[in-house]
Amino acid sequence: MSLALSVPQVGLSLFAGGLTTLSPCVFPLLPLVLGGALQGNRFAPVAMGLGMTGSFALIGMLLGALGPALGIDGDSVRTGGAAMLIAFALVMLIPALGERFTQWMMPIASSANAASVKLDGGSLLGALLLGGVLGLVWSPCSGPLLGSALTLVASEGGVARGGMVLGIFGLGAAIPLVAVAYASRSGFMKVRDWVLNRIEKVRYSFALLLGAMGVAILTGGDKWLEAQVLQWLPDAWVNFTVGI
């Protein structure tokens, strides 16, 4: 079964997921989120990461199946997806739009937070379930980033591809979470200062990249760029990202 997963999709999804966890309103809180879980079971943070990856993959599979099930024209979805990427880039670049988007995402975050309070993060099962809802808890901060990954899925469609793209997004978000859980306090403080001093510049750069990708999709430039990139990649990597 072909996943037809492109190199830009892999890279952007992983990077967007990482930026979600490293954002200024999430990253400093990770020790508080993880402290009790780590005391309850030393593998609980890993279970959280797996839960986060799995929940995003499930969302991707559902979204990937939605387009074909509704019979939506692929070209229309692709054009709409490009426009949404440009819109998410503007949300990340313009503070007023970002604040408005955060307000829209708050009901989702509130519902997810209420569910997370009931979970015991110290048990492996509880940590797995908690990881599954953490992405929604952080949705006010990660909304545009998650939206960009969802748009990448919607612009191409397919259950397997959707699960892979959003699963990679979840993996990108889980990696910093697990790393912080097992880092020393002094090590985390050093990394925190480094991240917070640079994350906004990285975020704005990513927003510009999203906007450029939206324009490229509208003009067909993404296919040309992908063909150029594939010429320089090792065959093993190409085989992994293009299909199984």
In a domain, 86, yes or no: yes
Residue 228 lies in a domain: yes
4 within domain boundaries:
no
Is residue 241 over pLDDT 60? no
Pick 72 or 93 by higher pLDDT: 93
Range with the largest mean pLDDT of 96-105, 167-176, 192-201: 167-176
Task: Express each pLDDT in 80-132 by its tens digit.
Answer: 777 878 888 888 888 888 888 778 777 777 877 777 767 766 678 888 888 88
- pTM for this prediction: 0.74
* Assigned domain for 6 exists: no
Q: Average pLDDT, stretch 140-161?
A: 71
Residue 237 inside a domain? The answer is no
The closest of 48, 174, 27, 46 to 121, measured between CA atoms, is 48
pLDDT at 180 over 80: yes
* Mean pLDDT on 159-172: 84
Interval 198-227 mean pLDDT? 78
Residue 244 DSSP symbol: -
Number of structural domains in the chain: 1
Domain membership of residue 157 (yes or no) is: yes
**Containing structural domain, residue 139:** 12-232
d(CA 244, CA 237): 11
The pLDDT > 70 percentage for the chain reads 73
At 17-28, the pLDDT tens digits run: 888 888 877 888
Long-range contacts of residues 198-207, Cβ cutoff 8 Å, at least 24 apart = 199/19, 199/22, 199/23, 199/24, 199/27, 200/24, 202/19, 203/19, 203/23, 203/92, 204/92, 204/93, 206/15, 206/16, 206/19, 206/92, 206/145, 207/88, 207/89, 207/90, 207/92, 207/93, 207/144
In a domain, 90, yes or no: yes
How much is the average pLDDT of 193-212? 84
- In the chain, % of residues over pLDDT 90: 2
The reported pLDDT for the residue numbered 50 is 92
- Has residue 163 got a pLDDT over 80? yes
Q: What is the chain's mean pLDDT, rounded?
A: 76
Read off the pLDDT of each residue in 39-62 and give the average, rounded to a whole number: 85
pLDDT of residue 79: 74
Q: Is residue 239 part of a domain?
A: no
What average pLDDT score do residues 228-239 get? 57
pLDDT at 244 > cutoff 50: no
Give the pLDDT of residue 74.
56
